[in-house]
Structure 1
Amino acid sequence: MFKRFKALVEKESGYYIKALRSDRGGEFTSNEFKTFCAENGIRRPMTVPFTPQQNGVVERKNRTILNMARSMLKCKKMPKEFWAQAVECTVYLSNRSPTRSLWNKTPQQAWTGRKPSIGHLRVFGCMAYAHIPDQKRSKLDDKSEKYVFVGYDASSKGYKLYNPVTKKTIVSRDVVFDEEASWNWNDEPEDYKFLCFPDERDEPSDIASPPTSPITPQQSTSSSSASSSEGPRGMRSLQDIYDETEELSQSFNNLTLFCLFADSEPLNFEEASQNDKWKIAMDEEIKAIKKNDTWELSTLPNGKKAVGVKWVFKIKRNEKGEVERYKARLVAKGYSQRKGIDYDEVFAPVARLETIRLLIALAAQNNWKIFQMDVKSAFLNGYLEEEVYLEQPPGYSVKGQEDKVLKLKKALYGLKQAPRMWNSRINKYFLDNGYLRCPYEHSLYIKVNGHGDILVVCLYVDDLIFTGNCASMFEDLKKAMTQEFEMTDIGLMSYYLGIEVKQSEEGIFISQERYTREILEKFNMMNSKPVATPIETGTKLSKHEEGDDVDPSYFKSLVGSLRYLTCTRPDILFSVGLVSRFMESPTTTHLKVAKRILRYLRGTLDYGLFYSSSKEFKLEGYCDSDWAGDTNDRKSTSGYVFFIGNTAFTWSSKKQPIVTLSTCEAEYVAAASCVCHAVWLRNLLKTVGILQEDPTVIHIDNKSTIALAKNPVFHDRSKHIDTRFHFIRDCISRKEVQVEYVKTEDQIADIFTKPLKVNVFNNLRTLLGVFQNKKHV
């Protein structure tokens, strides 16, 4: 066995085996084996007797293979006599699966240098229908034969299939699989003489029979090591192993039952049906669907395909984390829909977070209250334009008519077009009731009555928030919406899109304290030592930083969690944007910088934005840029922030799309993007009744940039700048914006472009309006 393995790996790799670590099994200590190793110059490090941990890599691999093989056999309820095929298939899959020791590669790819294909992989033990060649059948014979899939052939590109009736194994390429089905082995006599199965009386040499054809060195090594390290010490029968597995299965079932009674969300209908709380939730969902006249029972027309459905369960919690209600949602399996047949358009607009913050700032300035309503089963209100059929939901099939399907009249959650249909319905309702849809924010609606009173409504899918200066308009909206849709009146807005909102006489405070705690607990940083700034002064990162590779999925999860936190924490925007540039190939250096942000958040858990009334309620912006701050491509970072009142409500920190040749040019490119945003904000404010009569002032700390923006003459230092960036000059000439100089120490946008010292950072954070909760509310 080892001679074959040695010849294979040395032939494929071009290297020679220098050492072979093993235990002191008889097959490794024989004189013949010792002589062979000595003649080939192979060192023989061995473990101390009865100390398998010294050969832990192989021992752990053996256990992994055994666990996988056991799982595959148990999944399809196959007889234990198929252990050899299961082990062989396990090794085949292991060589083509990701491993922690090789980032972005599989063992097969690392060995051969070619990325292996996985499109041919199938579920072990599933049913397979092999094509019978024309030469082996007559005209009226079946064209396929039923088999059980038992592995992949090592010497050809084909599948190994076992016929439980004839007790024969074949290799075929023309196969159709039914991966959910399995053979009923209880109806077959347990006579499998085609396989040798070892028990405790077998000799080690019988266990270590060589495979028919080694696929890769890892496969051969795994098989050889498994036999050598366990054979001399005796081998447990698989019956004992299966007995232990049965005990584990029973324990697992008990654990499942325990989870059903805890505050956990069931995974399927069978689990949920065992809990009265989820039964009530499912009954309420079906009742709401029937009340809404969403579907009708029908016969499936020829050529049509019914879309499947499933139950999704969610525990709704309030801002304190307490359970509010148990919600069951019937969802269509929209992934099976076909474009052009079952649906056409799917896009539906939602409100931008900066629009929501603007609405909060507007309410705080005028001492208005913000209210919140929720549309129950919102997607069920959208009228379908296409003809869609559904399967009957699990547990709620009509008795005696189980073979029929449901023809949808209205949209259902999970359908591709459901969001767009709901948005079309709610948009039509608002327009028909005298609301004006903002052309610059399609989820914002404004209504002004004859007395000049205003009502502003902001829509995010099925969550409505509204504010204004007329209580009677509030009541009319609630009454009209309740008549048209099934609504939940939440009252004063306190928790919206994961943002905690506290409204008081002094102003409105928004934060994400609960979400911050969840992030810290998720990444085990709740007990970390706090730091004063999210990023250390002078930090420069590149793609090729020193340190070991980090799991990209883990790093992306961390950065993504932090990204949403910037909704109320602009003070971490630059540091989060910096680490997000290295999500594809992160190292421990990048992870260290990302975790410093978590340490900063640990010390500022209850920080957020405080909006209050101010004397001057006008739009004002700050714009800044570094120069060639990215060490990889030498591009600069633009940053800007806009205030309306005393607190920031929109901000940005992005890497510029071009390489600039000077600080003046970098600041000019940043100013151009800032001006574009200012124009959009002016139009948005005009729609909600806040007209900006004077030009919007944008503060820049570079005098050359200001001169270049005001000078319409192209000269040698600016002639290469792209025309699109000169849009700023046109806005200045139309008196929509006005650029003014500000000292560097007063440039608030500086916090979005570079790491800062503690005192400077704290000062700019305060100017942004980021405060601790207890200081204001």
Structure 2
Amino acid sequence: MNFQEAFEKNTWRTAMDEEIKAIKKNETWELVSLPKGHKAIGVKWVYKAKKNSKGEVERYKARLVAKGYSQRADIDYDEVFAPVARLETVRLIISLAAQNKWKIHQMDVKSAFLNGVLDKEVYIEQPQGYEAKGKEEKVLKLKKTLYGFKQALRAWNARIDKYFQDKNFIKCPYEHTLYIKAQGGDILIVCLYVDDLIFTGNNLTMFEEFKKEMTKEFEMTDIGLMSYYLGIEVKQEDHGILITQEGYAKEVLKKFKMDDANPVSMPMKCGIKLSKHEEGETVDPSLFKSLVGSLRYLTCTRLDILYAVGVVSRYMEHPTTTHLKAAKRILRYIKGTTNLGLYYSVSDDYKLVGYNDSDWGGEVDVRKSTSGFVFYIGNTAFTWMSKKQLIVTLSTCEAEYVAATSCICHAIWLRNLLKELSLSQKEPTKIFVDNKSAIALAKNPVFHDRSKHIDTRYHYIREFVSNNDVKLEYVKSNDQVADIFTQPLKREHFVKLRYLLGVAKSSLRGVLNM
């Protein structure tokens, strides 16, 4: 949609008026003559119909965006990096709220980037349709950032970070967009993803004070109970919280014309081995990358497809019809299971527990292994990983040992994060491994023919085992939940592990047992 088409419709014209009004209220710019030696950056209107989880339009949003691609490094901007919350942190907060029967609330900062202060002298052209009469040749000197600028996110993050710390929130050193305020036995936890805030805790008075202060400082939208966040549907019930991406899954199926496909019961056939040298015609890499990217985001709640998505993502540069067929099989599996998600509920044993596994040389082309781990706190998984290892291992013991090292690194980070949330793990975190040799190698500083070549960095694991921060325990291969992240499985075993991960129907009628 271009400007002329939008300007002729009342809904979009009203949205543009509201955007200009917010910009002027925020004192974002001033009208000046362009100084010599400077160049005005262009701007454009971007239109978006904001929808809810049901696909219904909630509001029309017009955004004035700078053409940031024309900015010059060290002249128009310096640093651009800004942190955002990890999705595993969001799932951890959901799990914590479900365990304590807290409600999670959500707020949105209107025109968030307009609150960031610029540290450079920047000029932009006047926006189309809102030029000052008789002064069309003048430009706008920015005092604050605008959407589209490379430094906009960093400037906004610096602004909101300073606000939280001035209000006596403690910034989590292990998750830089997580803020915690504790007063006696009361706690308020705030998680920030750009301009979307979610918060939970045990004191409703703190909730109301927080919302009042935020609304006073910024122009906010109080969304109420968290129900739709970053494409994830959240259903908060008395006995638990379910998160799904049912709407997004249906959009992906429609986008790739698979909404009428025949469903299958497995995302990948058992025993299949893909290679870079598969037979078949070359397919459009852009289409394949778009498909894999869409599937990758779906793993935010659908960890049952993580391994299959990881495998097909290895062939994005030169995909063939065989690779495309494997990716479309994942879509066919999604077609029959769109209503699956993760259900977080109250647990009698709310402790951090991990499962770690690895195959051996499963990658056909370079014979690298795949590491996989998953962590629970309570009955349902909240963080997971499936990734090809960086090195070629010489035995199953070494492959498991390398996988355990990355798992323990993550466990230490999680223990530190939980401590900040007043959930200190006083006992060692149990990590279940199905290889006794790898456990023995982690516990004993031995160097024999099968282990002396292992890089020193992988022996990092021994320090935390000896300090009693983590404890490796043996589990039978049939009960190794992380097995689902390292290789294609038989249907019965796949369904069993999916059940153990906490995957449930969106109807909240219990865990799927199909």
The normalised TM-score by structure 2 is 0.98
Give the equivalent residue in structure 1 for 2:347.
614
The letter for the 2-side match of 1:548 is: E
Give the equivalent residue in structure 1 for 2:59.
325
1:421 to 137, 147, 155: 155
1:339 to 73, 96, 104: 73
Please, which moves more after superposition, 615-624 or 712-721? 712-721
Kept after mapping to 1: 8 A contact 2:357/2:434:
yes
Deviation at 1:757, TM superposition (A): 0.6
The letter for the 2-side match of 1:566 is: T
1:535 to 263, 268, 288: 268
Q: Deviations for 1:213-262, whole angstroms, at most 9, x for unmatched residues?
A: xxxxxxxxxxxxxxxxxxxxxxxxxxxxxxxxxxxxxxxxxxxxxxxxxx
Give the equivalent residue in structure 1 for 2:380.
647
- Check if 1:735 corresponds to 2:468: yes
- 1:631-670 counterparts in 2 under 5 A? 631-670=364-403
1:350 to 58, 63, 84: 84
- 1:394-409 counterparts in 2 under 5 A? 394-409=128-143
Deviation at 1:272, TM superposition (A): 1.0
Give the equivalent residue in structure 2 for 1:78.
none
The letter for the 1-side match of 2:90 is: I
Kept after mapping to 2: 8 A contact 1:530/1:601:
yes
Equivalent-residue separation in structure 1 for 2:281 and 2:69 (angstroms): 38
Q: What SS does structure 2 have at the residue aligned with 1:774?
A: coil
- 1:246-257 counterparts in 2 under 5 A? none
Equivalent-residue separation in structure 2 for 1:552 and 1:338 (angstroms): 31
Give the equivalent residue in structure 2 for 1:510.
243
Give the equivalent residue in structure 2 for 1:306.
40
Equivalent-residue separation in structure 2 for 1:363 and 1:556 (angstroms): 36
Q: Which has the higher contact order (CA 8 A, sep 6+)?
A: 2
Please, which moves more after superposition, 472-481 or 708-717? 708-717
Equivalent-residue separation in structure 2 for 1:383 and 1:588 (angstroms): 50
Tell me the percent identity.
Answer: 70
The letter for the 1-side match of 2:375 is: F
Q: Deviations for 1:382-431, whole angstroms, at most 9, x for unmatched residues?
A: 11111111111111111111111111111111111110000000000000
Give the equivalent residue in structure 1 for 2:317.
584
Kept after mapping to 1: 8 A contact 2:16/2:62:
yes
- Check if 1:297 corresponds to 2:297: no
Equivalent-residue separation in structure 2 for 1:776 and 1:399 (angstroms): 62
Q: What SS does structure 1 have at the residue aligned with 2:507?
A: helix
Equivalent-residue separation in structure 2 for 1:513 and 1:773 (angstroms): 8
- Check if 1:715 corresponds to 2:448: yes
Q: What SS does structure 1 have at the residue aligned with 2:147?
A: coil
- Check if 1:554 corresponds to 2:282: no
- Check if 1:724 corresponds to 2:457: yes
Deviation at 1:511, TM superposition (A): 0.3
Kept after mapping to 2: 8 A contact 1:501/1:510:
yes
Give the equivalent residue in structure 2 for 1:677.
410
Give the equivalent residue in structure 2 for 1:768.
501
Deviation at 1:716, TM superposition (A): 2.2
The letter for the 2-side match of 1:287 is: K
Q: Deviations for 1:705-728, whole angstroms, at most 9, x for unmatched residues?
A: 111110112222211000010011
Deviation at 1:501, TM superposition (A): 0.2
Deviation at 1:694, TM superposition (A): 0.4
- 1:32-47 counterparts in 2 under 5 A? none
Equivalent-residue separation in structure 2 for 1:757 and 1:273 (angstroms): 57
Kept after mapping to 1: 8 A contact 2:242/2:508:
no
Give the equivalent residue in structure 1 for 2:12.
278
Q: Deviations for 1:555-584, whole angstroms, at most 9, x for unmatched residues?
A: 111111100000000000000000111111
The letter for the 2-side match of 1:560 is: G
The letter for the 1-side match of 2:363 is: D
Q: Deviations for 1:406-463, whole angstroms, at most 9, x for unmatched residues?
A: 11111111111110000000000000000000001000000001x2200000000000
Give the equivalent residue in structure 2 for 1:625.
358
Q: What SS does structure 2 have at the residue aligned with 1:693?
A: coil
Kept after mapping to 1: 8 A contact 2:357/2:403:
yes
Deviation at 1:270, TM superposition (A): 1.5
Deviation at 1:532, TM superposition (A): 1.0
Deviation at 1:776, TM superposition (A): 3.4
Q: Deviations for 1:576-596, whole angstroms, at most 9, x for unmatched residues?
A: 000111111111111111111
Give the equivalent residue in structure 1 for 2:259.
526
The letter for the 2-side match of 1:697 is: K
1:448 to 169, 177, 182: 182
The normalised TM-score by structure 1 is 0.65
Give the equivalent residue in structure 2 for 1:498.
231
Kept after mapping to 1: 8 A contact 2:109/2:219:
yes
Give the equivalent residue in structure 2 for 1:748.
481
The letter for the 2-side match of 1:518 is: E
- Check if 1:480 corresponds to 2:220: no
The letter for the 2-side match of 1:312 is: V
Equivalent-residue separation in structure 1 for 2:46 and 2:262 (angstroms): 39
Kept after mapping to 2: 8 A contact 1:610/1:776:
no
Deviation at 1:484, TM superposition (A): 0.2
The letter for the 1-side match of 2:373 is: Y
- Check if 1:563 corresponds to 2:293: no
Equivalent residues, number? 510
- Check if 1:702 corresponds to 2:435: yes
Q: Which has the higher strand share?
A: 2
Kept after mapping to 2: 8 A contact 1:506/1:776:
no
Please, which moves more after superposition, 379-388 or 521-530? 521-530
Q: Deviations for 1:289-309, whole angstroms, at most 9, x for unmatched residues?
A: 000111111111111111111
**Structure 2: gaps (5+ residues):** none
Equivalent-residue separation in structure 2 for 1:665 and 1:567 (angstroms): 30
Deviation at 1:348, TM superposition (A): 0.8
The letter for the 2-side match of 1:688 is: L
Deviation at 1:489, TM superposition (A): 0.1
Deviation at 1:775, TM superposition (A): 3.9
The letter for the 2-side match of 1:469 is: N
Kept after mapping to 2: 8 A contact 1:508/1:610:
yes
Equivalent-residue separation in structure 1 for 2:63 and 2:107 (angstroms): 19
Equivalent-residue separation in structure 1 for 2:507 and 2:56 (angstroms): 22
Q: What SS does structure 1 have at the residue aligned with 2:210?
A: helix
Deviation at 1:772, TM superposition (A): 1.2
The letter for the 1-side match of 2:111 is: S
Give the equivalent residue in structure 2 for 1:574.
307
Q: What SS does structure 2 have at the residue aligned with 1:594?
A: helix
Kept after mapping to 2: 8 A contact 1:532/1:600:
yes
Please, which moves more after superposition, 399-408 or 468-477? 399-408
Larger Rg: 1 or 2?
A: 1
